[in-house]
Amino acid sequence: MNIPKYYKTEFESFFADIYDAFFSAATFFQIKRLRKKAIDMLALKKGQSVLDLACGTGGITIIIAEAVGETGKVLGIDLSQRMLQIAIKKSGDYPKISYLRQNFEHVNYENRFDAAVIGFGAHEVPPKPRHNLYKQAFKTLKPKGKLLLFDYASPKGTLSKHLYRLYLKTIEHPNGWEYVNEDHRKALKEDGFKMIKHQRFACLFDAAVYQR
């Protein structure tokens, strides 16, 4: 498997072990609640199938599994072997979850899933691979399938923008600042999606549902 140049090798280091604690602190210990609210926007039903792109340590994957129930199926894919190992341990009580190490730019599924989720993964990649990610998400969905894009939002206010830019470029990911300034609705429309829901959380995070 080819590892893209933009991939952060820190995800194979000790950072994977502290990722949950770091991200919880970065969201003022609200990440579980925010993830739940974002997944609720999909209005998932029992028995549905969902693809979690860039699933990381499985935090949002487990919430998806709870929403689709015992008759549903959830597949989480990620490039980080170390994060996937953590996700597998955390998901022991959810036999309907499967995990796979794979580049989300090259997903070999077509018309298979009722919904797909990209949670805090899109800001990690440069523009071209990001659009490849959107295209792959579109391809995997059934007709009328839904995509949830949940990530950092564009801040408002001069001071907020300066602080946010500093955080994204030095602590999070160099592509993060470019991502929050992207017109996501336009970008996803180019890839075949139509926005049907949008909500801003805690002034710093955006969740939007797009339909194929």
Q: What is the DSSP string of 177-209?
A: HHHHTS-HHHHHHHTT-EEEEEEEETTTEEEEE
Among 103, 74, 114, residue whose Cα is nearest residue 90: 74
Tokens coding 173: 């990911």
Our measurement of the distance from residue 12's CA atom to the centroid of its chain's CA atoms, rounded to an integer in Å, reads: 18
Q: How many CB atoms lie within 10 A of CB 191?
A: 18
Distance CA 104, CA 98 (A): 15
pLDDT digits (tens, 9 = 90+) for 4-41: 888 888 889 988 999 999 889 878 899 999 999 999 99
Strands across the sheet with 205-211, in order?
Answer: 97-101, 73-78, 49-53, 113-119, 141-152, 205-211, 194-201
Residues of the chain with pLDDT under 70: 159
Its pTM stands at: 0.93
For residue 23, the model assigns a pLDDT of: 86
